[in-house]
Amino acid sequence: MSRLAPVTVVIPAWQAGEFLAATLDSLRAQTTPPEAVVVVDDGSTDATAHIAIEGGATLLRQDHRGPGAARNRGVAHANSEFVAFLDADDWYAPDKLERSVEVLQEIGAACLATDAWVVRGGRIDARKNQGRNVPTVLTTERLLKGSPVICSSVVARRRAVLEVGGFDEHPDLIATEDFDLWLRMSEREPLAYLGEPLTFYRVHQGSLSANERFLRGVDRILARVAQHHVGEAHFQNLIRRRRADVRLDYAWDLITTGRKAEGRALIREAQRLAPTWKGVRMRLRSMLPA
């Protein structure tokens, strides 16, 4: 029998019947399979629970509370040295766990993220961080400039996750709860980053309501970070720029779907926070006919 990686893979799953079997198959195909796989069924009404059991995972069930709560439940159940976070529609390259644990043990880091292949409509598109200069050490400062971390790429020491309180389960943080956790962990110790794409990450069609929730979540997270860095001009400037960038991204989606007045209002907010030429160009383009 092959040796096992000292890892519990935690999979939050809600209505995950379409993809979960392939996700679990990728874990059985690991060069060093995980010590345990925990699927937390977050109130599904489809075949999620049945597929999890058939795939050999430990199944935990809870009422629908969101991915942060599901991941916390899985971490609490784990007994291994490391936990890995894998969404139910993503999957691993065969050497994902072997390489991640090898690097973590070699450098003694608390948390490691890797690059990931982006999958759109069943087709591998590109690497998540292709063309970006991502350092091997991710500080709080670097994460505030824009996070290169995909949650499904992360393997961390279970102790380190628990010491910062795990994922924040507040409803406003659904879709941003992982960014919040990486920031809190980085305030104790920078995250390590490996530029190898060892995870396959599915990107689905977004929605304006999801973008609004993302903005609300980022604002909540950055308010906490700002309080932590009161009086530090450099961090306050980074926070303002990040808040502005998120508003510009949402504004562009509003403009391209015909909601130009709302988009321009967000551009004005962004420009008050951190004026940029990008904001000026977006406002001018919003004035053009459709």
Q: Are 55 and 77 in contact (CB under 8 A)?
A: no
- The Cα–Cα gap between 109 and 128 comes to 22
pLDDT value at residue 1: 42
pLDDT exceeds 90 at position 124 = yes
Question: End-to-end alpha-carbon separation of the chain, Å?
Answer: 63
pLDDT exceeds 50 at position 276 = yes
Segment 188-238, tens digit of pLDDT: 999 999 999 999 999 987 678 789 999 999 999 999 999 999 999 999 999
Angle at 18 (CA atoms; ends 48, 54), nearest 5 degrees? 45
- The SS3 of residue 60 is strand
Segment 155-174, tens digit of pLDDT: 999 999 999 999 999 999 99
Segment 24-68, tens digit of pLDDT: 999 999 999 999 999 999 999 999 999 999 999 999 999 999 999
At 195, list the tokens. 């530029």
Of 153, 155, 116, 149, the residue nearest 8 (C-alpha):
155
pLDDT exceeds 60 at position 253 = yes
* Percent share of the chain, pLDDT over 90: 93
Instruction: Report DSSP letters for 130-169, one per residue.
Output: TT----SEE-HHHHHT-----GGG-EEEHHHHHHTTS---
Mean pLDDT score across all residues of the chain: 96
User: Band of the pLDDT at 289, cuts 50, 70, 90?
Assistant: confident
User: Band of the pLDDT at 2, cuts 50, 70, 90?
Assistant: low
At 61, list the tokens. 């069930």
pLDDT exceeds 70 at position 290 = no
Stretch 117-127: mean pLDDT: 92
User: Band of the pLDDT at 288, cuts 50, 70, 90?
Assistant: confident
